[in-house]
């Protein structure tokens, strides 16, 4: 977020002044602009520091800063929601690896990202599509507290795919991870999210190993 300057933190001798009603007053001396802000019981806030002279407006600085912070948080949420993470599984995954991938997937969903689950078949594993379908449905069930699938799993080529969409933030409940909720919208591209302690124990075999 850009640095917000107000009142005597503004570094220009002259500013292009916009008064509290939105009327453009033109280029004025900084001290005159400050006097106008004081007379209105408000602040002189730099709203565009890149112009010459900088554009300053008379307004409530506390309210302005709150609105800017809120706008930035909303923008970050939208950017995260547009991201899609892909998580790849195999039918013979062991319980420890399964639990690790559940933590990773839940962490992405908790942050508001979509996750594409890919069940990849290798060689003769294509003979066990029923096991792959069963595992994908287990994944959907194990993540139902943070996400919902947009459709049933689909077989495309040698992969079964399923898109998971995060539930609304207030409805999400963690099962596999313990990260505090207030970090939900912070960007983090790490695969494990640093959640190696105090996590839910691995589940039992999610699906039998094909012969």
* Domains of the chain listed by start with CATH number: 7-76 (3.10.20.80), 83-183 (3.30.110.10)
Confidence band of 2 (pLDDT split at 50, 70, 90): low
- Given a cut of 50, whether residue 208 has pLDDT beyond it is no
When pLDDT is averaged across residues 6-17 and rounded to a whole number, the result is 91
Q: Mean pLDDT score of the chain, rounded to an integer?
A: 81
**How many residues appear in the chain?**
211
- Given a cut of 90, whether residue 140 has pLDDT beyond it is yes
% of the chain surpassing 90 pLDDT? 47
- Two structure tokens written together for 195: 């959640």
- Given a cut of 90, whether residue 105 has pLDDT beyond it is yes
When pLDDT is averaged across residues 158-185 and rounded to a whole number, the result is 79
Q: What is the DSSP letter of 111?
A: T
CB 121 within 8 A of CB 198: no
Angle between helix 95-110 and helix 129-142 axes, rounded to 10 deg: 50
Report d(CA 84, CA 78) in Å as an integer: 12
CA 149 from centroid of its chain's CA atoms: 19
């Amino acid at each position: 977020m850009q640095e917000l300057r107000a009142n005597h933190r503004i570094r220009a001798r002259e500013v292009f002044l916009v008064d509290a009603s939105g009327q453009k007053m033109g280029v004025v001396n900084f001290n005159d602009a400050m006097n106008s802000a004081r007379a209105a019981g408000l602040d002189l806030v730099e709203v565009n520091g890149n112009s010459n002279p900088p554009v300053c407006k008379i307004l409530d600085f506390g309210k302005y800063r709150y609105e800017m912070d809120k706008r930035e948080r909303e923008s970050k949420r939208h950017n995260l929601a547009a991201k899609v993470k892909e998580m790849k599984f195999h039918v013979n995954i062991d319980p420890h690896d399964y639990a690790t991938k559940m933590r990773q997937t839940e962490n992405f969903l908790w942050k508001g990202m979509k996750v594409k689950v890919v069940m990849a078949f290798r060689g003769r594993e294509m003979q066990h599509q029923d096991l792959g379908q069963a595992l994908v449905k287990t994944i959907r069930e194990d993540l139902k507290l943070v996400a919902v699938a947009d459709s049933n799993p689909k077989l495309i080529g040698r992969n079964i795919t399923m898109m998971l969409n995060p539930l609304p933030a207030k409805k999400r409940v963690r099962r596999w991870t313990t990260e505090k909720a207030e970090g939900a919208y912070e960007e983090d591209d790490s695969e494990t999210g640093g959640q190696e302690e105090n996590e839910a124990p691995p589940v039992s075999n999610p699906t039998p190993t094909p012969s």
